[in-house]
Chain A
Amino acid sequence: MIDLSKAFLLGGVICVIGQLLIDLTKLTPARIMVLFVVCGVVLGLLGIYPCLVDWGGAGATVPLTGFGNVLAKGVMKDVDEFGFLGVFTGGVKAAAAGITAAVTFGYIIAITSKARIKK
């Protein structure tokens, strides 16, 4: 139960940061998504984001910053294992499940459903 609350709290706070950026800076949602992923990579590299993951669980992994963290974690792991080649293999390898799921489900859902007007 405490884990669920922590996830709620941390996830909520990360999204509030995004909302503040939307409302106060006029940044478009696409730019904010980019910003979050890049921030996730940087915080992952610095070892800060893993601490958030330890504390908040899905509250840290579900937001896009978590995706950035996965990229950073993967690249560091592969650099450890394969040296410089890891720079090119680590990120996408770690994110493979997410990217492939997005393309697969995206494709299937897109061809089976129809865009409708907002009522």
Chain B
Amino acid sequence: MAKRLGQQTIVLDKQPIVLAGAAIVGRKEGDGPLAKYFDEVVDDEYAGEKTFEAAESRLMRDAFIKALEKSGKAAKDINVILSGDLLNQCTAASYAFRDSDTPYLGLFGACSTMSESMLIGSILIDSGAADYVACAASSHFCSAERQFRFPLEYGSQRTPTAQWTVTGAGTVILGKDGQGPRITCVTPGKIIDEGIKDANNMGAAMSPAACDTIVQHLQDTGRSVDDYDLILTGDLGSFGSAMLRELTVRNHIDLKSKHNDCGMMIFDLARQGVDCGGSGCGCSAAVFSAYILEQFRLGLLKRILFIATGALLSPTRTQQGETIPGIAHAVCVEA
């Protein structure tokens, strides 16, 4: 059974296994440095559907099917799907899985959804409540733009701290037995709001939450940065990552060269015109499900801390003058 360790960390006895993962991304992501790791690159932003929302659901469903295939499991083996996205009412996820004939729990953790779903999924397996679960998250540049910013064809300039919402979906299948890296402990994060108001600077809004969760995790487990091969944040981007370093140093933690950020890995920042890097639930979901799992398979990673980060941004509350709360959940994955 799962045991609590320290303030927030939960140690998993059964150590659920990440059986397989799959990621499907859009054209721009398919042009980025991680292109060869993705299972599929979809060139058409409509993905053959009529609307961007339907396209996002399609990416999500296809990534789920692909991950199932790779795990050797059938849909009926999956006890529950844990999934979410950025859209109101978790539109992409609920429409992606409406025909899945599988129990479904919709999650909203903004861009932290991937680690949130893995965190809950691994506890469900550890407790014996589920044998196999699917954890999925997605985002789509166009559906996010129209909900959070401007219409696509509106001529506006992006600010230098802005990030580019990743078009993509990632799914991992967790199981009680099988081959693959194990989830050994998890640290759910607190909502941290340091008063950032600029919706074009989400990295700065999220990095205090990422710092808080990292510090708490290390404190709870008594580990240091050196115990990890990689501390992987979700989508802080280049500026958010710089702020994370500022904050961790003030907590007497040196991330050294151990830190990387999915938002900076998925795009070539200098070449692809994405300002501070990628963002969106699909960013960390795709990078983890494709690239990170492959690194584990090749034996290049032994233990990582995966911390997807979310800006719990509400356009309504932002217009009302409110600040942007951030959140980050950590999942420790070991070979």
Contacts and interface: CB of A to CB of B under 8 A. Distances in A.
Interface of A: 22, 26, 29, 115-119
B264 interface: no
A117 B157 contact: no
Instruction: Identify whether the interface residues of A are mostly helix, strand, loop, or mixed.
Output: loop
- Looking at B27, B152, B198, the one whose CB has the most chain A CB atoms below 10 A away is B152
Contact of B141 (A22, A29, A117): A117
B156 A116 contact: no
Given A115-B142, A115-B151, A115-B153, 14 more contacts: A22-B157, A26-B198, A29-B156, A116-B45, A116-B152, A117-B26, A117-B27, A117-B45, A117-B141, A117-B142, A117-B152, A118-B152, A119-B27, A119-B28
Interface string B14-41: 0000000000001110000000000000
Contacts of B152: 115-118
A115 B157 CA distance: 18
Interface in B138-174: 141-142, 151-153, 156-157
List 10 tightest A-B contacts by C-beta distance, closest first: A117-B45, A115-B152, A115-B153, A29-B156, A117-B142, A117-B141, A117-B152, A116-B152, A115-B151, A118-B152
**Number of contact residues on B: which range applies?**
10 to 19
A117 B45 CA distance: 7
Nearest to A110: B153
Contacts of A29: 156
A88 B305 CA distance: 65
A65 B84 CA distance: 45
Nearest to B152: A115
Nearest to B44: A117
A115 B26 CA distance: 16
Contacts of B26: 117
A43 B36 CA distance: 59
Nearest to B141: A117
Nearest to A29: B156
A36 to B, nearest CB: 15
B203 to A, nearest CB: 17
Interface centre among A29, A115, A117, A119 (most CB of B within 10 A): A117
Nearest to B200: A26
A26 B160 CA distance: 12
Interface centre among A22, A29, A115 (most CB of B within 10 A): A115
